[in-house]
Structure 1
Amino acid sequence: MRAAFPYLLVAPALIYLLAITLYPGVFAIYQSMFVVTFKAWNWAGLTNYTTLLADREFWQALTNTAIIGGISLVIQTVIALTISYFAYRDPFIRGWRITYLMPMLFMPSAVAFLWKLAFNDGRVISDLLMRLHITDGNVDWLGSIPLARLTLIVADVWQWTPFLFIIFVAALQGQDQEIEEAARLDGASWPAIFWNISLPMMRPVIVVAVTLRGIDITTMFTNVYIMTQGSPGGATETMSYFIYRQGFRMFNFGYASAASVLMLTLTIIVAQTVVKRAFHSGKN
């Protein structure tokens, strides 16, 4: 009984985690095998999957997710590394670190409404560009594919760059100070120390942080739902919004479940490949 006591203590938490993670996944896989209506489930086998792989809208949503998420992730990583470098070195910037974290504390829906007001409804950005004589009139941010995607990228970068920043700063602070001091005594400048010593030492942390953020970006929904609704012409429809539209607007619940399963599988494969290659190459 004493040997089983620790397992009994963690059993409630384990059961809860399985209930909110394992069960929905298994249910989604099961549901994807049916053509689901409100009152009837008709067996479809792999029909939903084969139809999905031939669906142009599915591939467009997947491409949109990769483009918007990829550009946003690169920008976030570069900005977070830059700010973390200065916040780690400069006492003045270090004193304002809490300010850099504030965007992450806002609700995603509030951030989306804020940027929708700035870009579209309130024309704040357009007025600013006109005052700077960059544009001659109001900009239709949803009138072209690049501009519509840019609105989503800006909103995502503004809110979630702090997530990477706080991880990178913690990684810098956790490094062995003696190595940096030895390099500094040898005459190396701070930028050279960061590029040649700190950055390689941060590589495992960077890979994990960017992978986690990349996984989260694949679920981008709130900004799309509030700011663009997938326009123009589906150019900003991400996979999450595609699944939402199929399930809760077109009521193709089995089809939406199949899309969810495929997206989850693809995300796991990509994330596992990136992490495995990064850590394997780091051993060589």
Structure 2
Amino acid sequence: MTQTTLKAEGAALAAAPRRARRSPFQRKIFPYLLVAPAVIYLLGITLYPGVFAIYQSFFVVTFTGWVPNGVGNYVDLFQDDEFWAALWNTLVIGGISLTLQCVIALMLAFFAYRDPLIRGWRIIFLMPMLFMPSAVAFIWKLAFMDGRVISDLLMRVGLISENIDFLGVVWNARLTLIVADVWQWTPFLFIIFVAGLQAQDKEIEEAARLDGASWPAIFWNISLPLMRPVIAVAVILRGIDITTMFTNVFIMTQGTPGGTTETISYFIYRTGFRLFNFGYASAASAIMLILTIIIAQVLLKRFFRSGRA
């Protein structure tokens, strides 16, 4: 390359417009500007309704106007037997459902993680979670109540002699909600547990296997203790979601028999949109939000104390 060519290239580079460099402040704030629209949108659909509901809970809301009521809604709520019954139903139905989901998801994750045949088809386990919750509720309502598919199958195999009344018996009605919830949302925990197993150090398991330990013993004594933080996070996330159980109750039981399947979410819906007592429903929502935050915080501190699970 001749000296003339080098001079020409140097002149061309000098003549090219230089890109203005961002200041340190601009470089620092640029990532926040990128995520700002999403943050504003999420705050608009989550934070604002929550603040509005808390503000509304201090009023008696009617179609003609708002009448200040102070903490009257909260006082009445703590004396409301229906509210405490709905809270108890949420705890019972949600607790049983969450326990079953954890056990089943751990069993499926163990086999899907180890067995090559099952591991290749584990996408099938995720299919229930892909259906709309309302569609799942209608399917199970047809199976348990309208079409009596479950009763007919049990009679054909000789386990029962007559149709089961799933809406007339308390625990039968609760069972329908538990089965529907377990069937659809166990895959959510399954995904988390499989990811947790795959992220573990394989050398520890290989060392135990070389010492003669069986796969069930390795899973129970090594993999499961290491999964404790993952299980804790999954239980908290799923537990928070269970407190909002509404679709299955609305479509399948509507709180029957006698309100024994009415969850707190359905209680809030019935109070606000059927009885048109919006201030009272907002107070119930605020109390449920506070209880959820307290329980989640206690569990987080219990499982992640001092930064260790």
TM exceeding 0.5: yes
Q: Which residue does the alignment assign to 2:130?
A: 105
Q: Are residue 81 (structure 1) and residue 102 (structure 2) matched?
A: no
Which residues in structure 2 correspond to 1:166-245 (within 5 Å)? 166-245=191-270
Q: 1:17 aligns with which of 38, 42, 51?
A: 42
CA distance in 2, matches of 1:169, 1:222: 28
Q: Which residue does the alignment assign to 1:130?
A: 155
Q: Which residue does the alignment assign to 1:266?
A: 291
CA distance in 2, matches of 1:97, 1:7: 38
State the secondary structure of the residue aligned to 1:187: coil
CA distance in 2, matches of 1:174, 1:283: 17
State the secondary structure of the residue aligned to 2:304: helix
> Could you tell me how far 1:281 is from its partner in structure 2?
8.3
CA distance in 2, matches of 1:111, 1:212: 21
CA distance in 2, matches of 1:24, 1:84: 38
Q: Which residue does the alignment assign to 2:182?
A: 157
CA distance in 2, matches of 1:150, 1:142: 10
State the secondary structure of the residue aligned to 2:60: strand
Letter in 1 for 2:210: L
Q: Which residue does the alignment assign to 2:12?
A: none
Residue ranges of structure 2 left out of the alignment (5+ in a row):
1-24
Cα pair distance change 1:35/1:253, threshold 3 Å: same
Q: Which residue does the alignment assign to 2:301?
A: 276
CA distance in 2, matches of 1:158, 1:5: 44
For residues 239-258 of structure 1, the C-alpha deviation after alignment (integer angstroms, 9 at most, x for no partner) is: 00000000000000000000
Letter in 1 for 2:138: F
CA distance in 1, matches of 2:110, 2:216: 9
CA distance in 1, matches of 2:155, 2:42: 52
CA distance in 2, matches of 1:253, 1:142: 29
CA distance in 2, matches of 1:10, 1:74: 37
CA distance in 1, matches of 2:58, 2:229: 39
> Could you tell me how far 1:282 is from its partner in structure 2?
8.1
CA distance in 2, matches of 1:177, 1:47: 59
> Could you tell me how far 1:4 is from its partner in structure 2?
3.2
Q: Which runs of 4+ in 1 moved over 6 A?
A: none
> Could you tell me how far 1:129 is from its partner in structure 2?
0.8
For residues 28-61 of structure 1, the C-alpha deviation after alignment (integer angstroms, 9 at most, x for no partner) is: 1000000001231000010000100000000000
State the secondary structure of the residue aligned to 1:167: helix
CA distance in 1, matches of 2:167, 2:152: 16
May I ask how many residue pairs the two structures share in their alignment?
A: 284
State the structure with more CA Rg: 2
> Could you tell me how far 1:13 is from its partner in structure 2?
2.0
Letter in 2 for 1:261: A
Cα pair distance change 1:37/1:101, threshold 3 Å: same
Q: 1:53 aligns with which of 78, 83, 93?
A: 78
CA distance in 1, matches of 2:307, 2:104: 24
CA distance in 2, matches of 1:29, 1:73: 29
Q: Which residue does the alignment assign to 2:141?
A: 116
Letter in 1 for 2:257: P
For residues 142-181 of structure 1, the C-alpha deviation after alignment (integer angstroms, 9 at most, x for no partner) is: 1111100000000000000000001100110111101100
Amino-acid identity (%): 75
CA distance in 1, matches of 2:61, 2:241: 28
For residues 14-34 of structure 1, the C-alpha deviation after alignment (integer angstroms, 9 at most, x for no partner) is: 221221121111101000000
CA distance in 2, matches of 1:280, 1:101: 32
> Could you tell me how far 1:99 is from its partner in structure 2?
0.7
Letter in 2 for 1:147: N
